[in-house]
Amino acid sequence: MRTYLFGQHILKANWRLTGMALLVGVTGCGLPDSATELDSSGPPEVKQIFMEEQDPKSGAPDFALAYGTHPKRTKDAQEALNKGFKLDDGVLDRALPHVLHVRVVVSELLKGETIEGFMCACSGIKDGCPQKGGVPVTWAVKEADCPDAAETKTINEAGKWLDANLDGLPDDAVMIPELAQVTCGTLVDWKSDAQGGWYNPSGNQQVPSNPNTLEPHYGGLGPAVVFTPPDLPTGQSCKVTFKEGAITDKDGEKLVIPAVDFKVAPLTLMAKDPGAYDPEDPLTQVKEVEAITLSFNTPIDSKTIAGVTVKEVGTSTEIPGEAAAVEGDNLSVAWTPTDAASLQAGKEYKVTVGTAIKDVFGFGLPAEYEYTFKIKASQ
């Protein structure tokens, strides 16, 4: 979750809302790519739901429209056709398995206390927190609802919520639990928790920042509730649903968010070092290789990383070596030769990544992957 001081969050929100009010009040729209089009008459409606998809060729992530329409869609679609880009077809079949955001863009400002609350100073039963269903109350919708803090905690003057930096404001705002749920068959059943997302009251969501993006971006026009589910199983079908009637606008009218079915992108090799050799480009040769590092689009099961082999091109003999997880990087695997001298200057080598490598849910590469690299000859 993006962490920030609640006071800063409020200040930023007020600044954004002031800007939105000016734009809406004066023109009904703002800059060409930053119109808000808020409708405060209610009831609140979902304008769009965005999720990140993985480009099937490059693997690069990009925001895709999973639900709703967009005033720029026709224009962007035509521009994409002109450039030969693949269009966003409204069907999510390549959702990111790692660090996915589900961004629900709505038509008007929402009642913040139906989405976020305060992190209380009280942290558990040992601090004497009141309990609800046997679970300590560690967050609250209003400051006054926080239990009295333990003496060992740094608290504000009211003695209610955490204030470690003594600025008189709560240190953190948290999402009210169980507003969203992601299921992937029997593999995943995640209900959003206190760190499972945030509310962004700004009226401008994901405006295109790169005109050369692989797929068209659609800037969301309105405030958004963002959910951040955990890692998902690659290549599998999933569904995101939302707690009915839990989120409201300022007048108490309920926001109804439609469920979205989607499929997660397959396990994909995203990067490799050394890179691939191109016989037509001498600059793709490398000076020396101590290890081969392979990075994937989701964490890898460390027990399955033995499926990497290296051979000199034109031979059938496998070079002895060992693959191991990269410390501090659960997305990457490093293959190291048993004898450093076995990777020699002036020679080309073929790396094979087998389907035995799997994500933490047990799903492997859809097909074996091969590439070659060449070590530059000694001068």
Examine the domain organization and report whether 334 and 364 are in the same domain. yes
The two tokens of residue 341 are 């001298």
Cis peptide bond upstream of 274, omega within 30: yes
Last residue of a domain, which of 263, 287, 317? 263
Distances in Å between the Cα of 258 and the Cα atoms of 10, 72, 85 are 28, 22, 29
Per the domain annotation, does 184 fall within a domain? yes
Tens-digit pLDDT profile for residues 66-92: 887 666 555 555 565 455 444 455 568
Extended strands (E) in 18-82: 46-54, 61-68
Task: Specify whether 239 is located in the same domain as 277.
Answer: no
Q: What pTM value is reported for the model?
A: 0.75
Q: Are residues 182 and 223 in the same domain?
A: yes
129-176: pLDDT as tens digits = 555 555 555 555 555 555 554 333 344 444 444 444 445 555 566 788
**Where do the H-state alpha helices sit in 221-266?**
none
Per DSSP, the three-state class of 107 is coil
How does pLDDT run across 196-235, given as a tens digit for each residue? 888 888 765 544 434 344 344 445 567 889 999 999 999 9
pLDDT band, residue 124 (cuts 50/70/90)? low
Look at residue 348 and give its three-state secondary structure. Answer: strand
In this structure, are 201 and 276 located in the same domain?
no
Closest CA to 305 of 349, 354, 343, 340: 354
**What is the domain range of residue 27?**
6-115+176-263
Read off the tokens for 173.
Answer: 């705002």
How far is the C-alpha of 126 from the C-alpha of 134, rounded, in Å? 13
Structurally, the chain folds into a number of domains equal to: 2
Residues 296 and 238 in one domain: no
DSSP letter (8 states) at residue 13: H
Give the H or E element holding residue 200.
strand 197-200
Q: What is the mean pLDDT of residues 288-306?
A: 94
d(CA 138, CA 342) in angstroms, rounded, equals 57
Q: Which two tokens stand for residue 38?
A: 């808020």
Which of 263, 283, 301 corresponds to the end of one domain? 263
Domain-terminating residue out of 232, 263, 294:
263
User: 177 and 196 in contact (C-beta within 8 Å)?
Assistant: yes
Write the DSSP assignment of 126-179 as a string of letters. GGT--EETTEE--EESSGGGSPPPPTTS-B-TTS-BB-TT-SSS-S-EEEPTTS
**Residue 145 backbone phi and psi in degrees, to 5:** -85, -10
